[in-house]
Structures are given as structure tokens and as C-alpha cells.
Structure 1
């Protein structure tokens, strides 16, 4: 498994992106961050990403807690989403939503940990670079 990112669920996408770029000093993955999603990729470690609340709310509906309930999401990447979901449901996990596909790049499912935190399990279908998808483990 590969911890791909910590994702903040934000209402003020532009202001939060500007904060992480200019105040914290993280470089965004693309030159002009635009909603609904941006990744800041430091030289070492996992990414810090922003996802606009309205976009996730439209996709996940009732799964997202209203108001300021959900503000972060842990994203984990696996090589075989279907197989992994089968494994974790056999161990007692309850899948809250998905699988859903974002564009043609990522297939995801969602669950909550015992504290109620939102967890996204990803399977990369294609790499952004066009290169083969590297293994998650």
C-alpha cells in the first residue's frame, strides 16, 4: 500500500491554495491551481492536496458530513481496488461509497475509520505522465 496524500476538504479553494503556495512555500503540481483539486508535491514525502468541498459533495452526497464536519481525508493507493475491497470487507470494513471513477485516471472507494474520518482507497488507472502506473506496494 502507498500513502498517496493527505487531502484537505476546503470551501475557499483559491485562498487555501494561495496560502499553501505563498505562505507555506509548497509548489503546486500545476502552474495555475484551479478547482476542484490541486496537489502540492514536496521533494520528499507524500502530497498535500486540496479538494473543493462542493465537488466532493456533488459526487458523494450524504457521505460528506454537512457544515465543517469533514475537513480532511486520508488517501491510500492499492494496485487492485476490487480485491482490496473484498479483503477489507471480509475483515469488517463497511464501504460507504464507490467505486467511482475520476476522469479516466483514478478509481476510488470510500469508508470511515472508527473515529469517523473519511478514507479514500485509490487504484490508479493511468499515470498523469503517460508512463506506466508504478506499483503501490
Structure 2
């Protein structure tokens, strides 16, 4: 089995494309993303895709459940960078609002959190150490 992508079902397609491209800094697989679908494929890791919720609802009918209450997190996008502090400065410069101060977990990982225009939770990680004790590989 191979995980091909994480796909977010969004109602604000253009706003989310702009956020992941212009604020987060991911590159779309196509030059000019258009609804109903776009994938962002970084050099390392899996793809993140956006799919217009109305398009998928038209295709699936009642199989697609309506979105829950806003604020009820059911998914999180995790992205890894080499230098969290520098990346957070850049995110703020691009207009992102960071949710609190970075949190360090077990001396192994430092994370900060923000939301995209759809309210999806995003975790930005910096690995401080690997579980095995091997050198931390570069994120980019």
C-alpha cells in the first residue's frame, strides 16, 4: 500500500489554494490551479491536495457527509521544516496567524500551529532528534 496524498475537502477553494501556495509556500503541480482539484507535491513527503467540496458532493450525492461544526478538528496537516523559528517569521510576513508559542515534545520535536482559511489545523514541525538517535535528515 502507498499513501498518495492527504486531501482536504474545502468550500473556499481559491482562498485555500492561495494560503497553501502563497503563505505556506507549497508549489502546485500545475501552474494555475483551478477548481475542483489541485495537488501540492513537495520534493520530500506525500502530496497535499485540495478538492472543492461542492464538486465532490455533486459526484457522490448523499454519500458525502455535510461538514461538522466549525472548530471540531477531524484532521491536521503536518509539514516539516529545518528551522521553525525562521519559517514562523516568514509565515507571519506572509499574513499567517500562529496559534500560540511553539511547543517542544520530549526534546525530539518542536511544533507550531496555525489554521488555513477553511479552519483546518496545520502543524509546522522541526525535528530536533530522531527516535533512533541518527542524525536528523534535512527537511528540504
Per the normalisation by structure 2, the TM-score is 0.50
Q: Residue 132 of structure 2 corresponds to which residue in structure 1? A: 129
Give structure 1 stretches of 5+ with no counterpart. Answer: 7-44, 47-65
Give the structure 2 partner of residue 118 of structure 1: 121
SS at match of 1:97: coil
Question: 1:73-125 deviations in whole A, cap 9, x for unaligned?
Answer: 00000000000000010110000123000111000000000000000000000
Q: Corresponding residue for 2:102?
A: 99
Answer yes or no: is 1:69 the counterpart of 2:72.
yes
* Counterpart residue number, 1:32: none
Instruction: Tell me the matched-pair count.
Output: 76
- Taking the aligned partners of 2:101 and 2:74, their CA distance within structure 1 comes to 20
Distance 1:100 1:120 in 2: 11
The answer for the alignment partner of 2:89 in structure 1 is: 86
The 1:81/1:132 distance shift into structure 2, 3 A limit, reads: same
- Separation in 2, partners of 1:110, 1:116: 12
Instruction: Please say if residues 71 and 119 of structure 2, whose CA atoms lie closer than 8 Å, have aligned partners that are also in contact.
Output: no
Structural mapping, 1:45-60, within 5 Å: 46=46
Give the whole-Å Cα distance in 1 for the aligned partners of 2:89 and 2:71: 31
TM-score normalised per structure 1: 0.51
Name the stretch that deviates more: 117-126 or 90-99: 90-99
Work out which of the residue numbers 109, 112, 119 in structure 2 matches 1:109: 112
Distance 2:111 2:72 in 1: 21
